Chain A
Amino acid sequence: MKRDRPIDSEAKNGRKLRLLLHGIDGCVPYMTPSTLEKYFPASDDNLWIGLAVRDTCVMPVFQEKKKVHKKNKNRNLETSSSTKASVAKKPSGYGFLPTKPDSWLEPYNRITVPTFDPIADNKKGSYTCTNKGVSVWTPHGRQKLTPGAYNEASLALDAEYTLSLFDIDDEEGNAKRQEKAEQRNKEWFEDLGKACSGQTDRKLWAPALIPNLINNPSASLAIAQSDNKKASGIALIGKWHSKLEKLLESLEYENVTMLSTDSLVEVLEIASGSAVNMIGTNLPQQWAKKKHALAIDFSFDESSKRVKSDKKDQLDLNSDGCIDMSSKVFARDARPLVPGRSTSLACADSMFSRAYIHHLVVAQEILAEILLFAHNLHQMLELLKAFREAKDPSALKEFIMKQLKI
């Protein structure tokens, strides 16, 4: 870990609110090192990168095999010079192996997690748990991730923060199942604590399953109090619930993170509160894949500079506050994606027009997704900044919600 910067970044009013971007497959989507450094530099403490062992560390496993030439078959193998140990050409399978992160990611704030969205995975049947570990779906088929393998792989990723392996039960699971999940989570958290007991600079996060947290908060949060290593933060797993705001108010963790969000409305609900100080999401990439650009106006404060909008500027936003760049209305629109405000890769210094991005979308050029992702990520960071600095976050939330087509 090679960071010398202070970790916390606070707004003038003391509010912390950061973005945890899902680094699917161990990378920041679409961003080469040079574009990432230029437009989303590591010096910005508000952008954190999450790496999931599930998709970053799955590697082929090759077994050594001894090749014996036919004519040497009956000879003493120890003395035969024609016996060679070689690595098999085909993998015997896939497993989770210790993997180093890309060198250019090292300056960024990073967190290692088992997976980002186990609830969604669970619904697809691709995240199942037993006492021995979890079974996850990867590009190479279903693989078993044991606590030992997870601890080794996650520590090799060398992030400052590591979330322990966790079990999840069904949202409508029975009490026994819930209890079992909590038990496993506590054990696995302690295992991780033991695995990095000598490393004082490594901080652990404990998982908190939202349904369990609401039903039995004390048991759920007890996980974070292991003897070996107390959690410096908790990661909320599941769908945001309004009850959580009050529940989490009294917590004294350095970090309370919502591991995954899947809609702008959910982000707004969390950001307008004060319990959570980091929001994890994959939305910038999801929107880019759908050719959508985040275009909400969140500069509602009269004292701030904003572009006056008239009827011509009013955009048809969807429920996620995005405009669909495949729409023909943008075919001749020479304005940047979000006029007057943004300084993203797609907007300011480069000034790609909506017309050009629309053309790229229609022409099915991958550059469209690259520009849209960079724009969306920038807008998300600006959105969280607006909430950090807002005098009345609830009012800001309402202002934005009115723009959405819900």
Chain B
Amino acid sequence: MISVGNFVTKCLGASFAATKPLNSANYHHYHHYHHCQNQCHQSGYRTSYEVGSRLFSTKPSSTPPTGAEESLPPEASDFPEWAYEPRDFFRFEILHQSEKSQARVGRIHTPHGVIDTPSYVAVATNAALKGVDFRDADQTGQQLVFSNTYHLMLHPGAELIRDAGGIHKFTNRKGPFITDSGGFQVFSLAYGSVHEELSSKGELKRASRGSKRANSNGSANPVKVSENGVIFRSYRDGSKFLLTPESTVQAQKDIGADIIIPLDELPPYHIDRNALVESVDRSHRWEARSLNEHLKNINNQAMYCVVHGGVDRELRTKSVDYLTSLPFDGYAIGGSLGNGKEELKELLDWMMPQFDEGERQGKPRHLLGIADEESIRNAVVRGIDTLDSCYPTRVARHGSLLTRNGSIKIKSRKYSRDFGVKIDEECNCTTCQHYDRAYLWHLFKANEPLFVTLAAQHNIHYMNDLMKDTRQSIIDGEI
């Protein structure tokens, strides 16, 4: 049984009943750093004396909280001072700042190794890359790997990974990992994939808003959202799961990645503004709760916040201002990132300069779920340090190979006679060293599993080469 709201937060002069006893190490911090409405006025939030006890009760609310109660996340000063101190196990150093753009070359130091930035983060959904052993991927230059908490919770279970000694021992990979909160996958159950949501113009979301009617697929609502968290059903066996800001942190603690992410709500692109405001505010409250849970036992893990607000400038700015005031170790750009690459570029154009203000500049920035080449170029020049995407490994399975002259679809017959022609003439990966396009065509047509391995290895190598070249270009003053 996952406990709900099992920690205490303070807000606005309200006194709290500890819903669950805090450990002695931090209990006094919460009482000591209790502040009242003046602080909240300055951050733009309304005050309420009623928030604390009702918002963070142990029992799931039978009725949703009212608007006034929902609007108030904790203030920066509500977090203990020690939380703002630099971590000895995690730091980001900027080696070179471009004079032509916001691009920078840096290094993220984690307990399991260094990440040179800007960097591509490969996605190992189930703690495994598709068809590629981690050691082969590491040889291509892969440093940070992204795993999905949602899938790992459903199988094998976060506790099992904990009992195995953590994800590094479980997978036998020594390099750094990052895990997400599971929010993206959970909300995808309601809205579909990003592409589906954009193309359906939000049809699917109506089914997730508590409508009693089944959705367009004829099935019951897959996701139920409340202030406490999200209830969803496992696609494996249909069992119910409750994902709360606290439980996702616990799961990520069990998994043991080097970088973890708090629970956030992922609204769709097609959403009215009032709903978006509500969603952003809820995400802030959830992320603060996750942060609090994380601070109880840091466990040598860094936590990135997730900035939201869709394509709304005001909301994005509010999100940046609030979340960067909290003791997160890095910043992830999440939520809906626009309808297409141009809108993403525009969003980054006006949002990223905010991350260069003051101390924000010294923390790493991660762009969630985007890593096609054009977006990489647009993101890096605007100051993004890391990007993740399953695109290179996913398309590899379907026969798409990345090259410096665009991707090639190896199933085309025209490659059946490309004897001695590498996938990419400038690529030095093991696939290109040993195989030509004609043979890869043959393997693909014969449905040989080896093709998936070779294609994925090449694509990952290509992405790492791309980022290496990008870093060099920044240092050379070309970007």
Give A contacts to B, CB under 8 Å. 24-35, 55, 59-60, 62, 89-91, 102-104, 139-140, 331-332, 334, 345, 350-353, 355-356, 358-360, 362-363, 365-367, 369-371
Q: Are A103 and B434 in contact (CB under 8 A)?
A: yes
Ranked 9 nearest A-B pairs via Cβ: A363-B126, A366-B131, A359-B156, A365-B128, A25-B446, A367-B128, A33-B434, A104-B434, A34-B430
Given A89-B413, A355-B160, answer yes or no on A366-B446 (Cβ-Cβ < 8 Å). no
B448 at the interface (CB under 8 A from A): yes
CA distance A279 to B393 in the complex (A): 37
Question: Contact partner of A30 among B127, B128, B439, B449, CB < 8 A?
Answer: B449
User: What residues of B have a CB within 8 angstroms of the CB of A345 in the complex?
Assistant: 133
User: What residues of A have a CB within 8 angstroms of the CB of B155 in the complex?
Assistant: 359, 362-363
For A27, the closest partner residue in chain B by CB is B450
CA distance A34 to B132 in the complex (A): 12
Q: Are B163 and A32 in contact (CB under 8 A)?
A: no
Q: Are A102 and B172 in contact (CB under 8 A)?
A: no
B136 to chain A, nearest CB (A): 7
B201 at the interface (CB under 8 A from A): no
| Most chain A beta-carbon contacts within 10 A, residue among B131, B136, B430, B449 | B449
Q: Are A367 and B133 in contact (CB under 8 A)?
A: yes
Given A35-B136, A60-B416, answer yes or no on A352-B449 (Cβ-Cβ < 8 Å). no
CA distance A35 to B453 in the complex (A): 11
For B452, the closest partner residue in chain A by CB is A366
User: What residues of A have a CB within 8 angstroms of the CB of B130 in the complex?
Assistant: 365-367
For B236, the closest partner residue in chain A by CB is A362
Interface residues of B in 401-454 (CB under 8 A from A): 413-414, 416-417, 430-431, 433-435, 439, 442-443, 445-450, 452-454
| Most chain B beta-carbon contacts within 10 A, residue among A350, A362, A370 | A370
**What are some 30 contacts across the A-B interface (CB < 8 A)?**
A24-B448, A25-B448, A27-B443, A29-B448, A32-B450, A32-B453, A32-B454, A33-B430, A34-B139, A59-B416, A60-B416, A102-B434, A102-B439, A104-B434, A140-B445, A331-B160, A332-B160, A345-B133, A355-B160, A355-B170, A359-B155, A360-B128, A363-B151, A365-B130, A366-B130, A366-B452, A367-B131, A367-B133, A369-B449, A370-B133
User: What residues of A have a CB within 8 angstroms of the CB of B442 in the complex?
Assistant: 25-26, 59
User: What residues of A have a CB within 8 angstroms of the CB of B172 in the complex?
Assistant: 350-352, 356
Q: How many A-B residue pairs have CB under 8 A?
A: 112
B303 at the interface (CB under 8 A from A): no
CA distance A267 to B142 in the complex (A): 41
Question: Contact partner of B156 among A89, A139, A331, A369, CB < 8 A?
Answer: A331
Identify 17 new A-B residue pairs, CB closer than 8 A, beyond the known A27-B448, A363-B151, A367-B131: A32-B453, A33-B430, A60-B417, A62-B417, A89-B414, A91-B413, A103-B434, A140-B445, A334-B164, A356-B164, A359-B155, A360-B126, A363-B125, A366-B130, A366-B131, A366-B449, A370-B133
B129 at the interface (CB under 8 A from A): yes
Question: Contact partner of A55 among B127, B434, B446, CB < 8 A?
Answer: B446
CA distance A371 to B453 in the complex (A): 12
For A25, the closest partner residue in chain B by CB is B446
Q: Are A353 and B170 in contact (CB under 8 A)?
A: yes
Interface residues of B in 440-478 (CB under 8 A from A): 442-443, 445-450, 452-454, 457
Q: Are A29 and B449 in contact (CB under 8 A)?
A: yes
Q: Are A363 and B128 in contact (CB under 8 A)?
A: yes
User: What residues of A have a CB within 8 angstroms of the CB of B3 in the complex?
Assistant: none
B171 at the interface (CB under 8 A from A): yes
User: What residues of B have a CB within 8 angstroms of the CB of A360 in the complex?
Assistant: 126, 128
Give B contacts to A, CB under 8 Å. 125-133, 135-136, 139, 151, 155-156, 160, 163-164, 170-172, 413-414, 416-417, 430-431, 433-435, 439, 442-443, 445-450, 452-454, 457
User: What residues of B have a CB within 8 angstroms of the CB of A332 in the complex?
Assistant: 160, 163
A287 to chain B, nearest CB (A): 14
A387 to chain B, nearest CB (A): 29
Q: Are A29 and B450 in contact (CB under 8 A)?
A: yes
User: What residues of B have a CB within 8 angstroms of the CB of A331 in the complex?
Assistant: 156, 160
User: What residues of A have a CB within 8 angstroms of the CB of B151 in the complex?
Assistant: 363
A96 to chain B, nearest CB (A): 13
CA distance A139 to B449 in the complex (A): 15
CA distance A62 to B448 in the complex (A): 24
For A55, the closest partner residue in chain B by CB is B446
CA distance A345 to B449 in the complex (A): 17
A25 to chain B, nearest CB (A): 5
CA distance A90 to B414 in the complex (A): 9
B423 to chain A, nearest CB (A): 14
For A356, the closest partner residue in chain B by CB is B170
B411 to chain A, nearest CB (A): 13
B219 to chain A, nearest CB (A): 22
CA distance A401 to B450 in the complex (A): 33
User: What residues of B have a CB within 8 angstroms of the CB of A366 in the complex?
Assistant: 130-131, 449, 452-453
User: What residues of B have a CB within 8 angstroms of the CB of A353 in the complex?
Assistant: 164, 170
User: What residues of B have a CB within 8 angstroms of the CB of A24 in the complex?
Assistant: 448
CA distance A360 to B447 in the complex (A): 20
User: What residues of A have a CB within 8 angstroms of the CB of B126 in the complex?
Assistant: 359-360, 363, 365
For A60, the closest partner residue in chain B by CB is B416
User: What residues of A have a CB within 8 angstroms of the CB of B125 in the complex?
Assistant: 363
B452 to chain A, nearest CB (A): 6
User: What residues of B have a CB within 8 angstroms of the CB of A26 in the complex?
Assistant: 439, 442
User: What residues of A have a CB within 8 angstroms of the CB of B132 in the complex?
Assistant: 367
CA distance A75 to B446 in the complex (A): 46
User: What residues of B have a CB within 8 angstroms of the CB of A104 in the complex?
Assistant: 434
For A102, the closest partner residue in chain B by CB is B434
Q: Are B435 and A367 in contact (CB under 8 A)?
A: no
User: What residues of A have a CB within 8 angstroms of the CB of B431 in the complex?
Assistant: 32
Given A55-B446, A331-B156, answer yes or no on A356-B171 (Cβ-Cβ < 8 Å). yes
